[in-house]
Structure 1
Amino acid sequence: MTEGDLPAIMAIERATFPYDAWSEGMMRGELAEQPRTRHYVVALVDEVIVGYAGMAAAADQADVQTIAVLQAHQGTGVGGAMLAELLREARRRCAREIFLEVRDDNPRARGVYEHFGFEEIGIRRRYYDDGTDAIMMRKKLDG
């Protein structure tokens, strides 16, 4: 992902996360940390950005920062492909585990994460701006 992708990214961000979308400034801040501590990717279909994902990595730990896919492309494997790329990058950076938070009211995303081996480790009450709880998940990474 580059700054040139931001117009498309921000449109997806606002559509996917209407209550707690990141600002463009927040996204620019994340991109400014590439490749030092961040890794962001976009998903293209017919040369159009339909999703994006990013992670942070420090020492032996990584965190999925965000994954978003346009509604019309959800359930097509786009999110899973981006998550697989984040996991590859986390391993490349020698992370031993990777964490994420997912909305309690998003069973589709939770199912994807469970399919990739993430396990629930806790709950962050009223984590999201609309008061929804976050399910904290972790995946241990093999070498």
Structure 2
Amino acid sequence: MSTLTLRPASALDLTLLATLEARSTAHPWSEAQYRGSLESGHQLFIAQLDAEIVGLAVIMLVLDEAHLLNIVIDHDWQGQGLGRQLLSELMLRMRQQGALRMFLEVRESNTIARSLYESLGFSECGIRKHYYRAEQGREHAILMEASL
């Protein structure tokens, strides 16, 4: 299997990011949200296997804390361990940039993602009640953190 590589995303990639997420998640970010994130100075990454784009991530680095704002693996590539590889690489890069901890939020119902995060050292550190829009009302966000 090829090695997963990351490259920084630019304004030229925003349509691609929004399209990839729209076909891969039930509640995708819009192109405008990606643009706002890029303009705010967040780090946007594109994950590739050879030349094929398989995922993306958005991180906000504040002092010694990294905040994972979004992570997506393309629908056709899910379930193959690429999310683990992507998050592991992000954790390493953030540690190299001086982060001591990483935080994230995850839908309470997303047990697959929560298991992945726990297996990489994340633990629950809070809850945001009724944070996410859901098909029927609102859903809690579980806050998680890991030492880097």
Alignment TM class, shorter chain as reference:
0.7 to 0.9
Gaps of 5+ in 1: none
Within the candidate set 134, 139, 144, 1:132 is matched to 139
- Residue equivalent to 2:36: 29
SS in 2 for 1:95: coil
TM norm structure 2: 0.83
Identity of aligned residues (%): 36
TM-superposed deviation, 1:56: 0.6
Report whether the alignment pairs 1:50 with 2:57: no
Q: What CA deviation, in whole Å up to 9, does each residue of 1:97-117 have, x standing for no partner?
A: 110001111111111111110
Deviations 1:24-73 (A, max 9, x none): 12201222345xxx322212235222210121111111100100112221
Residue 3 (structure 1) aligns with = 11
Post-superposition CA distance 1:81-103 (Å, at most 9, x none): 21112111211221121100011
More strand by share: 2
Matches of 1:39 and 1:86, distance apart in 2: 10
TM-score (norm 1): 0.86
Count the aligned residue pairs: 137
The alpha-carbon distance between structure 1 residues 16 and 139, as it changes in their structure 2 partners (threshold 3 A), is same
Instruction: List aligned pairs for 1:103-142, cutoff 5 A.
Output: 103-130=107-134, 131-141=138-148
Amino acid at match of 1:30: S
CA distance in 1, matches of 2:49, 2:15: 16
Q: Given residue 7 of structure 1, which amino acid in structure 2 is its aligned partner?
A: T
Q: Equivalent residue of 1:98, what SS?
A: strand
Q: CA deviation at 1:124?
A: 1.1
